[in-house]
Amino acid sequence: MSVILVTGSYDHEIRFWEAWSGICSRTIPRAAESGQVNRLAISSDKRFLAAAIHKKAYIYDIAAAPAAGPVAIFEGHNGNITALCFHSEGKWLATGSEDGTIRTWDLRGSPLHPNYDNEVPVNDVVVHPNQGELISCDQAGRIKQWDLSDNTCTHELTPGGDTPMSSISLASDGSCLVAGNVKGKCYVWKINDERSDLPRFQPVTMFQAHTKYLTRLLLSPDVKYLTTCSADTTAKVWSITPNYEFKHEKTLQGHQRWVWDCAFSADSAYLVTASSDHTARLWDMSTGETVRQYSGHQKAAVCCALHDGAG
């Protein structure tokens, strides 16, 4: 399967789509399970789909028969799982939850490390490209770096006071971090080497991306663009200069309600968005136009994942 495009919804369904035709090719049956789908992630080798469903993380074999159930279920969180991301080689998964903890899971089933106690609800988690650190953001407006080797929080940032931070994104080369809060404001840091005399997180700029709630932001794989998603029914595209100046390039208009999530193609040329209007859309980044619409969910589509790179 060269292009894997998946959406999750408040209708409890997970749907796989043929990216170019817009046809739903597989719906994961969830008759025996309850709970809305909060987040999705695809492993880098395209073998597994991770789905955050209420308090559990489900792992599905992407190549399995359409009716196949999960190959693993990770239980332990006491609240909604709001974030999940794979280790680059797909060996483990990190999850963040409203219960105030971050957990890492070996794909063979056993927890890897003790929980990281964040004390307040976690809204997003990313794995640093060095695979030795996690970075999280939370409901108290904090951004934290967690060291996987000694299970500690090594850095903490609170750029917007106690305004909740809704989303973070880390450059694929580890060069910069972008965070967005619920008031639509974005903050950018250059990330310096721990061994240098410079601060680990060096603030470089901040800007107002939306006037309404910011739901998700994401740096493109080539780190030339940032996309921000919002309750204002749009996603916005920002170009990034080598000195970290962010310029508003396009507003992606077409969704009728909140835009909850987005995912880039491997070459940064296309973007998928998921919306409360029950649909997902594929956008051409060069024109800002909708190329395809994916319709079939009966309730809000709140998460999406796309993997069209090498497996």
297: nearest Cα among 4, 52, 6, 1: 6
Residue predicted with more confidence, 240 or 69: 240
**Res. 122 pLDDT band, cuts 50 70 90:** very high
DSSP per residue, 160-212: TTTSPEEEEEE-TTSSEEEEEETTSEEEEEEEPPTTSSS-SEEEEEEEE--SS
**pTM attached to this predicted model:** 0.96
**DSSP code of 111?**
B
1: nearest Cα among 242, 243, 230, 306: 306
> Nearest 5°: CA angle at 268, between 11 and 158?
75
- Residue type, position 195, single letter: R
Token look-up 């920002």 returns 238
Using DSSP bridges, classify how beta strands 225-230 and 235-240 pair: parallel, antiparallel or unpaired.
antiparallel
pLDDT at 64: 87
pLDDT greater than 80 at residue 31? no
141-185 tens-digit pLDDT: 999 999 988 878 999 999 999 999 999 999 999 999 999 999 999
- Residues 307, 311: Cα–Cα separation, whole Å: 9
pLDDT at 168: 98
Mean pLDDT of the chain: 93
253-280 tens-digit pLDDT: 999 999 999 999 999 999 999 999 999 9
Stretch 44-73: mean pLDDT, rounded? 91
24's tokens: 């739903």
pLDDT greater than 90 at residue 311? no
pLDDT at 32: 60
| Chain mean position to CA 54 | 16
